[in-house]
Structure formats: C-alpha cells, structure tokens
Structure 1
C-alpha cells in the first residue's frame, strides 16, 4: 500500500524539506520520496502542514480501574485528535502498572494507530516503600519509572531506583512536590490564594524536592527527569544542574505555559491543576525555558475526571484537566511567544530524547510517523466534538484555532479511505 501526500508544507527543522511544499510518498510505512507523483491513495493537502508525529510523556487513560473517566480506546481517540502517535501512560491506574501482565494489557489493547509506552511504578502500590521488579518491567516494555502523580518521597528508595536503572538506561520520573508542605493545598500560594481564601502551595514545595533529588543524582548516577515543572526557581535549579553535565531532563505541561493562578479567580475547577498554576512570572520563565531548551519537552498532563469529581466546591474537586485534544490549538496560541517550529520540536524529539529513543524526521528512508494539521481551522470543544469520556477542560465550549487533520503511524493512519 502506498500513500501520496500532495502539496503539503513541511514543518520540521531537521528535515531538508523544512518550510517547503512537497509531495510525500509513503510505502509500507516508510517515506520513499519527497517528490512523489502517484500512489494507491492520494490526498491533496494544499494549505495544510505536516510535522513528525507528536509524543506525549504524561497522560492518564484511567484504564484499568476508572474506565468511566477514560479508557484505552477513548484516550487513544483523544490523542489522535491532538496529533499524538505515541503516548506514555502514567502508572497510577487501579491496579498500578507494576507487573508484566499490567504492561501487556496496555500494549495489546490500545488502538493500533497509537503506540503506548507504559511508565512502570517505581514502588509497590505507589507507596514509596519497596521497589518494584524494575528489570522485569523493563523487559516487558516499560520505558521509565515513576510513582505517577505522587512524588517519590522516600529518599533511600529514589537512590536505589537510580542505581538500578543505570544498567538499563531509562529515567526515573519525579513529580517534585513535598507532600507535607503541599498537603491539602488547593492552588498556588500567593495574593490570589489569599484573596480567594484558599489554602496555597508555595513554590518551595517543588524547589525543595528538586534540590534534594539533584544531590541524590550526583551521588547515585543514573538519569532523572522532572515532570511538569511549574516554578521559575525550580527551573533555575535544573538549569544549573544541567550545566554540571548531570543526566537530568524536565518537561512542562501545556496548560502551565498558558494559565496562571489568576485563572482560578472565578473558582472554575477546570483550572484546579496538579501542580497548581503559579504566577505570571513563573509562566514567563517556563516559556523562556521552552524557547532556550532548558525544558526538554512539553507534555499534555491529560487528567480526565467525571463530573462528580469536578462539579464541586473548589476545595473538594480533584485537580486536573483533559488536554490531549486541545493540545495543538494550545501550541498555536503559544506560538505568539515561541516559534511554532521550536514548540513542535519539544513535542516530537524532545520527549524521545528524554526516553533515550532515536529522533525522527521527515526525509527519504525515514519511518512515516506524521501529524498533519491546519493552522487556521476553527472549531469548538463541546459534547459533539469531544473524544474523551470526560469534559473537564478549561476550553469547554470555547472556539479554538488550529486543528489536527490526521495522524500517520507507519502502516496505519486516520486519513479518510
């Protein structure tokens, strides 16, 4: 089977065709030519752009255990609508991802267009007390280890985990948060939390754990990845550690590049997040970190919740929002501050580098993993267009600019037949 993508403009800084209009010929899941003429299926994509397919480092598909919020099928559909052909699944399912059978379940049941990459539990039952069988989990297909959205609070366990994974060259993923300081916090601690009468979490909660973990990494070796960094000071600590040539990476969630603690002003629980949105100063520092490369990747931090978990008083609602389907419009919005080609690189090869995977690009002989999108298309996220089982989005019933048209993943695609 051959496919020809005609008159499409390439957005890929690593491609010889960057910013050029080409005809991409794909045969058996491989790009054969950038000047193809005929194929079994041909698509005229004039006015559309193509990039290498997106890779997400952090998404909850809530399967198994909470399939009423999301399952592997609905999560995959949301991911494809957002431009993702690869998605890392967070281990805090029920049961957590801590056995070979758990990993097999996820890989075999997910939709074929999407490649899922399970992140294994670092500790048994995510309690931070005993290590999981890390080598067995890696053999089964786990790409990294984490305790999900909970921090790895046990310093000794973190030290051992870093030492164990040195052999298999995969990162330990840390959600930096001091569980004692952040306990019962509802948003970022600052003038807005004071004004709203909500308990705040200071940036110190993140910064302390980042400081601690950097020192542990210096002692243990291994690779450490900080997920969903939210503070300027935390990012500065990571930047300094990188200059010391430590094996350290970090990502930021797409919503933390757009929203601040001020967004919580009308108590909309869709703006209650984990970690919390911080100040405009923090947001600008994160945007700068994306631009200068201190931040390696942008993730979705897709956290679906049913309405019973969100339509509550702010202090009772669960933190998180869906973000896969609105990810590309969010990039378009952010492109007023960071060039779109840089943003694309942070969701294509940035995540792959974090996981020690080979980069991809649009060129002859390369695997066909592509995202096709329209920069100017307007659409609204609502009950009709939403692919997720949940609707806890700050963009609900909002007109968005920028839409993914299709995803190609080797021999599979969402292009119309």
Structure 2
C-alpha cells in the first residue's frame, strides 16, 4: 500500500510535527516521509481542505455481538463501522453467547479479528456468563489477550464480587470497567425519573441508582487500591462524587457517551426507541454538567456504547424495546457539534491519548519510520449520517439525518485503509 495524505494538520502531542500542516507519505504501513509538497509517483493521494491527522482513536465500550448474535453485528461489520468512525482500536464487551469469560473465547475473537482493518480487543468478563455470581478465569483471559475486565452491559451488583475482582486484577495493574446501575432500584425503569417520565406515563429509574453504585465502587476501589473505570456516567452528582474521590487519590477514570452529551430526557417525548438507553437520558442540567466535564478535564474519554439491535428489537412499543443504539460512526461528530469551542487537541486526547493510557496501549507517534496507525478527519465538514452510509449490520441510530459538523474520513491501520480520494 502506497498513500500520500496531502496538507493535513498533525495533532499528536508525542510528535515533533505536532501542530504542523504537512504531507504524509505511507508505504507498506510505514510512515516513510513527512514534509511539504511531497510528490512521489504511483501513489494513492488523499487531498481535502481542512484535513487533520492524529494517532488512531480507541473506543472502550462497544458490543459486536459475535459470537452468538451475529444477526445484530459481526466482527467484520462492527470493524467496518469503527473504521468509518475513525477508530483503529475497539474494545468489545463480553455480553456474547457464549460470553467472553474464558481464554478460548478470547483467543477465538483475536484470531477471527486478526485480518480486519481495526484492532479488536476483547474485554474479559469479570464473572461467569456475566451473571455476577462467580468470578471468571480472569488471569487466564489476561494471558490470552483480554485487555481489561467488565461484565459489560450487566453492572456488577455484588460488593463481594466487585472487591475480589478489584483485588485480583491489582497484581498485573489491570483495570475494571463498570457501567454504574444499581438494579435493586426500579430495575424495570424505562427512562429517567422526573416530571417528563410522569408526563409520558413511563416507568422511571431515578438517578440515585447510578449514584449509589458509583459511591460503593469508589469506596471499594480505594479499599482495594486498584484501578476502576466508570463508563456511561450521566449525572452531575456522579461527576461530583468522582471529583471528590480523585482528591482522595482514588485511582478512577471516567467516560461518557455521545448520546448523553447531545440528548436529554425531553427528547423522549416522541417515544423514539433508539433513545431508550441504559443508563437513561437525564436532565438538561446533567447534560450541561457532562459538557462542562469535557471542557474542564473531569472526563477522561468518550466511549461509543455502540449497541446494535435489529428492527425486531426496536420497532416495537417503547416498553418492549431493547436498550441501546449504534454510535461508532458519529462519536466524534456529535462531540464536535455540541461543543464547537473545544480545541481539536482535546478531542484527540479524549479519543486517542487517554483511552490508550487507561488500557496500557502504546500511543502510535506520527514520525518518519513509525508504523502508521492514523485517524484522518475534517473538523469543519458538515454532513449527515444517512441510512445507506451506515456500516453496522444494524441501523438503530437516533443521529440519522441530523446535521453534524466534523467528519471522520477513515483510518490507516494494520497496513490497510478505508480512505478514499
């Protein structure tokens, strides 16, 4: 593969070219040259006004439904959606069938994903079958390539299991990812509890269900002296708890979803099942707090929470619809649209640098002689996600047809690319 990316602004804090606009020549997956007015012969040229290039983006929390639910997504279709969204690396949750709760499943995924243009990192289940009852083979999965541990969409309810898992991963500096949701409180809630839920007549789940579990998990992480990552955090009170824990030196990081940056509970007045999420959409004040957390650095990264479902699971009454939406292709655009004042360096930090630090992945530097693992994007390009452009096997997105600003052009990774002229 020979490719020339013309006149792109390099956003990479580890690179000596950071902040400069230059041509980047890539030959057989290696950055051969970076400079002005490069004009090699016989190369594919990518040229567009306003292009930016950064180290490849990483997503911490996506459901690729393989094995067991391939009618919703496959590793190949999920990889295509990820590449279109600018992601070179994806962590996939263990809520599959069978669950990713033993080394053989980790090895199956790694082998099946090896030829794909995106690196897929299995997240090992904390408990067997992600049921929260008995610890899974954590160490064996780690040895086979599980990058971190979580029960994915099933929040760990048992304090005993949680603290044991935190203690178990500490010797190898592992990280436990938790989606905070206390299921003892209104387990069948359909949306955030408040005036809107009352007006819509929908059974509701209060914000305290999230905040209680966060309080517990922060204390357990401090007690175990281990690493905790909270994903899908949605309320102002939750962020306050996390800030207070950090002041006490608790080793906690946090990610939020693009949907919670963009929508609020008020958007559910149309009963759009694509907006039925867990955790649910919260209040306008909560959304404002999340947006502020992006600006002031409280939030470490953005996770897609890409959860594909086919029409049979979404084109039903709101009560019976499954939780979740796809999101890999719109992660960056949603954030850049909602917060246009945030500099591109901060988006690269949120999407590339910080998730790599959390997971222990190396940051690929944009330097001559380095392996090319790049995301190419245009911060000023206006576009809309159309149904035809969706690369996922499912199309349950609430962002389809909405005006967005900031478009990923694709990636160069694993000596492959989806970039087009």
| Residue number in structure 2 paired with 1:293 | 297
2:255 corresponds to 1:226: no
CA shift, 1:386, in A, is 1.4
Q: Is the 8 A contact 1:178 1:205 kept in 2?
A: yes
State the partner residue of 1:63: 66
1:201 alignment counterpart = 205
Paired residue for 1:367? 371
Instruction: Tell me the equivalent position of 1:45.
Output: 47
1:39–1:215 distance in 2 versus 1, CA, 3 Å: farther
Distance, in Å, in 1 between the alignment partners of 2:222 and 2:379 is: 44
Instruction: Select the residue among 150, 169, 173 that pairs with 2:173.
Output: 169
State the match for 1:250 in structure 2: 254
1:143-162 residue pairs with structure 2 within 5 A?
Answer: 143-162=147-166
Deviation at 1:313, TM superposition (A): 1.4
1:358 positional shift? 2.7
Partner of 1:281 in structure 2? 285
Count, aligned residues? 417
Alpha-carbon offset, residue 27 of structure 1: 4.0
What SS does the corresponding residue of 2:198 show, helix, strand or coil? helix
Counterpart of 1:86 in structure 2 is 89
106-115 or 246-255: bigger deviation: 106-115
Q: How does 1:318-333 map to 2 (within 5 A)?
A: 318-333=322-337
2:267 equivalent to 1:263: yes
Aligned partner (choices 136, 143, 152) of residue 139 of structure 1: 143
Instruction: Tell me if structure 2 keeps the 8 A contact 1:7–1:44.
Output: no
More displaced stretch, 148-157 vs 44-53: 44-53
Greater displacement, 324-333 / 205-214: 324-333
Q: Is the 8 A contact 2:85 2:410 kept in 1?
A: no
**Is 1:212 paired with 2:216?**
yes
CA-based RMSD of the aligned residues comes to 1.9
Residue 365 of structure 1, CA deviation: 4.4
> For 1:367 and 1:260, how far apart are their aligned partners in 2?
41
Aligned residue for 2:411, secondary structure, equals strand
1:101 aligns with 2:104: yes
Counterpart residue number, 2:12: 12
By how many angstroms is 1:316 displaced? Answer: 1.4
Deviation string 1:56-111 (CA, Å, 9 cap, x unpaired) is 00111111111111111111111111000100000001111012221122112225
* Residue deviations 1:195-229 (CA, integer Å, cap 9, x gap): 11112211111111111111112221221111111
Report the more deviating stretch, 227-236 or 357-366. 357-366
Structure 2, unmatched stretches of 5+, are none
Structure 2 Cα separation of the partners of residues 44 and 140 of structure 1: 38
Instruction: Report SS of the residue matched to 1:167.
Output: helix
Gap regions ≥5 residues in structure 1: none
TM-superposition CA deviations, 1:279-309 (whole Å, max 9, x none): 1111111112122222111011101111111
Residue 22 (structure 1) aligns with: 22
2:222–2:251 contact (8 Å) kept in structure 1: no
1:189 aligned to which of 189, 193, 198: 193
Q: CA deviation at 1:392?
A: 0.9
Q: Does 1:384 align with 2:404?
A: no
Distance 1:365 1:240 in 2: 43
Give the Cα separation in 2 of the matches to 1:344 and 1:373.
11
Judge conservation of contact 1:270–1:321 (CA < 8 Å) in 2.
yes
TM-score where L is the length of structure 2: 0.94
| Alignment match, 1:122 | 126
TM-score by length of 1: 0.95
Q: What secondary structure is seen at the aligned counterpart in 1 of 2:104?
A: helix
Instruction: Look up the match of 1:31.
Output: 31
How far the C-alpha of 1:150 sits from its partner, in A, is 1.1
Q: Secondary structure, in 3 states, of the residue corresponding to 1:315? A: helix
